[in-house]
Amino acid sequence: MTLELLRGFLAKRPFQPFRLVTSSGQVYDVIHPENAILVKGGLVVAYGAKSSDLPDRVATLSLPHIAAVGDAAEPGARRP
């Protein structure tokens, strides 16, 4: 994974939610561009709180451990 690829997903306008899958199988949906911050060597993702507009958890993902990135599933869809 590269910072340039992630930067492209975050900069896309209109923004389209995307899904990150880690090497351990954890899945993180970035539903708003302000929910992710690029940092040297990775990405910080705010997530959770499906019943609120504000996330309630944060994860720091290292670039080598981001295994896949793609479109987020529709709301209510099952995660892999």
Read off the CATH number of the domain in which 8 is found: 2.30.30
d(CA 28, CA 76): 14
The pTM score is 0.82
Question: What's the pLDDT score for residue 14?
Answer: 95
- ∠ CA 73-14-69, nearest 5°, is 40
d(CA 6, CA 43): 8
Question: What's the pLDDT score for residue 73?
Answer: 66
Position 79 in a domain: no
- pLDDT class of 80 with cuts at 50, 70, 90: very low
Mean pLDDT along residues 12-38: 94
Mean pLDDT along residues 19-24: 95
Gap between the terminal Cα atoms of the chain:
20
In this structure, what DSSP letter does residue 78 have?
A: P
d(CA 6, CA 2): 7
* pLDDT of residue 44 exceeding 90: yes
Position 26 in a domain: yes
The number of folded domains in the chain is 1
Write out the residue range of the structural domain in which residue 58 sits: 3-71
